Amino acid sequence: MNLSQLTEYDTFLFHQGTNCRAYEMLGAHLTEENGEKGVRFTVWAPNAREVSVVGEFNHWDTRVNKMAKIDDGEIWKIFIPGLKEGDVYKYAIMPQHGGPHIMKADPYGYYAEVAPATASRVYDMNHYEWQDAEWQEKKQRTQSYGQPMLTYEVHLGSWRRTPEGNQLTYRDMAEQLVNYAKEMNYTHIEFMPLCEHPYEGSWGYQATGYYAATSRFGEPDDLRYLIDKAHQAGIGVIMDWVPGHFCKDDPGLRDFDGRNLYESDNPQRADNAGWGTTNFDYGRTEVQSFLISNAIFWMDQYHIDGLRIDAVANMLYLDYGRQSGEWQANKYGGNGNLEAIDFLHKLNETVFREYPQALMVAEESTSWPNISKPVYMGGMGFNYKWNMGWMNDTLSYFSLDPIYRKWHHDKITFSMMYAFSENFVLPLSHDEVVHGKCSLINKMPGDYWQKFAGLRAFFGYWMAHPGKKLLFQGGEFGQFIEWKWDSSLDWHLPEKYEMHTKMLEYSKNLNKFYVENKAFWQVDFDWGGFEWIDCDNADDSMISFIRRADDGDFIIAICNFTPAVRHGARFGVPKAGVYEEVFNSDAAEFGGSNVLNENDIPSQEVPWNNKGQSVQVTVPPLATIYLRLKKERPIKGRTEPLEDAIEKEAAKPAPEAEAPAVEAQAPAAGNVAVEAKEEPAAEEKPKKRRGRPKMTEEEKAAAAEKRAQKKAAEKAAQEKAETKKTAAKKADAKKPAAKKATAKKTAVKAKAVKAEPAVEAPAGEAPKKRRGRPPKSKAE
């Protein structure tokens, strides 16, 4: 880490809110001055009357190591020789109004005592040697949008514990968690907040040390080792980050120098009663530098690949979680927090300037527009947004007994109405398996078998739906109890119980299928990667759709959300050929009933679901299956696009208009069908040319010659047909009027089709096709 010399330029940027590496200027840095090694302490406390550094090295005496203000009049500094890495310290701050000193942890401290102790520790951030150069180089060559993103969300304190119930260390996780995530085919690990926090029950979302990786699991370099190992295994790392509010505990940021500093002077804006926390003041430029520098710090010093920003709605709305009278409108009379909006713009622009491949994921639960669009396009500047609407709708749907699902079919299809309005991540997060909401598998109705079948079907649908994916720990093997932050996951379930073992195997195989099939992730954010086959089959609670890759490769997903087997179910398919079932959530190896489509599935020329081809398959109960085109079979004679062919098929006239030229015969009494009788002996029956490619010159010449030979025969046939028509009229005169009219019309039509002379084609050209009804003859 570089050490700022507290130049006038650095402090100017800090006060302007544009210093994105303020951690190189503020905090405790091991350095050397005047030939002595020690620590330089620097802290921003503009409202303090006096500041000193205290710790065990001076027996916590506030009189020993008093700090002095630098030229800007707001930042305090001192160099203390002889201090070393690991020394404990705090800032003792005397407020302007006097009174006892306030004891504060370092806002820019890199390391802290293990809770419940609250002091900061001196730490050297310069001695870790990274081994992830290959990962970093690869990241620079790829864009995340067209890559698989299957994230495993983890709470380090409860993912797994020792047999004695102790928490694993960062280095334990580097072996166990990384190996597990790789084996399970996850592409990313997302850690719930790693910043230092006093209360474990807050899960890290109420922090006191934004720059200090929590010491519960080891030192900062131990966390770096964990992230390094993940990168070496080809796994990205995302961290939950909470720039919206902070902990009220005394050693933290609240009333830092005796007055509101990091929070607003307006109590209504500062207080977050719903969460028992304090909101940041985004209008204060030094707070902007603090938070933006913190985002850069985690990417710079810990090689974090991205941040999932918590509670963005709490930042954007002045009235979020507040009743009438508990908030004040902005200067335009609206409920938008203008300062927070400007801050988020600046944050995202800075992050992407410094780290263009970063992941900035917003957990934003409202319909605020363009969250994941760039600032220059009028967006908020994130590149991903959690799809909370999809999560709520689908979990509500899957919690219903299947008998009622047909009346709530829109919950499973509505997401496609807005699926491409943002770059969405589909989260099945920790928030959905706590506080009485039940675990994922316990949300599924039915008996023991149906719960597992329902969860497998849900995961299959989720994996095929457009959007990146996130799953919280335990969901992959069907943990029955809700998540408990203070104990391990129930790893004995997949170790001892067959259905949980098979559920884990299912998740592993489904994840593998996802990452290996680009149709599921290459085009996630526009309609080019998705097409409905059937979204309207509410009565059967079934949906089917297509996912496509850039090169046209596609996979068909079919979901049955009832316990009934659907035999011979027909679905339209985009291409003619032979299909095969490539994944089935009902397979016996996954705990299913093994209703499979084991044989090849040939398409049929039966129009269905607005497609010219269709297949018939057996759809298992409570299951999702995937089909792939195994071997394409060109549709005979078709050269136009499928959509055009379907339109032509719909507009095609009655079959008799396509019949070959033959003699017309009067219908028998009461029968309106026209029989085809003798053809000229020397005439070969012409072939239909519907959809046939353009004829060659040789074919055109042959056709012209044959046309000339046919002319005489056609004339004779016409005369013969006229004679027979006269006889038919006499016979029809004896029939009822209605039948006579029908027969006459049919006979005339037959004559026109079978006996009308063809129009002469220009020399060298093929005769024109007469698809559809021919022009009326003079007789008609």
573, 603 contact by CB (below 8 A): yes
> Up-side HSE of residue 660: CA atoms within 13 Å toward CB?
13
Token pair, residue 458, equals 């849900």
Count of other CB atoms within 10 angstroms of residue 183:
11
- Find how far residue 571's CA is from the centre of its chain: 26
- Judged by DSSP in three states, 89 sits in strand
Rounded to 5 degrees, φ, ψ at 284 are: -90, 120
Q: What share of the chain is helix, strand, coil (3-state, %, to 5)?
A: 35, 20, 45
* Rounded Cα distance, 387 and 363, in Å: 8
Contact 630, 463 (CB under 8 A): no
Where in the sequence numbering do the catalytic residues fall? 310, 363
Helix or strand or coil: residue 122? coil
Q: How distant, in Å, are the alpha carbons of 149, 150, 300 from that of 235?
A: 10, 10, 18
Specify burial of residue 11 (Cβ count, 10 A radius: 0-12, 13-18, 19+): buried
HEC sequence for 424-481: EEEEECHHHHCCCCCCHHHHCCCCHHHHHHHHHHHHHHHHHCCCEEEEECCHHHCCCC
For residues 337 and 281, is the Cβ–Cβ distance under 8 A?
Answer: no
CA quadruple 381, 382, 387, 388: dihedral sign: negative
| Closest by Cα among 27, 3, 39 to 212 | 27
Cα–Cα distance, 581 to 672 (Å, whole number): 47
Residue showing tokens 């002469």: 760
| Dist. CA 119–CA 121, nearest whole Å | 7
Looking from the CA of 280 toward its CB, the CA atoms found within 13 Å total 30
- Whole-angstrom distance, CA of residue 279 vs CA of residue 768: 78
Q: Which amino acid is at 387?
A: N
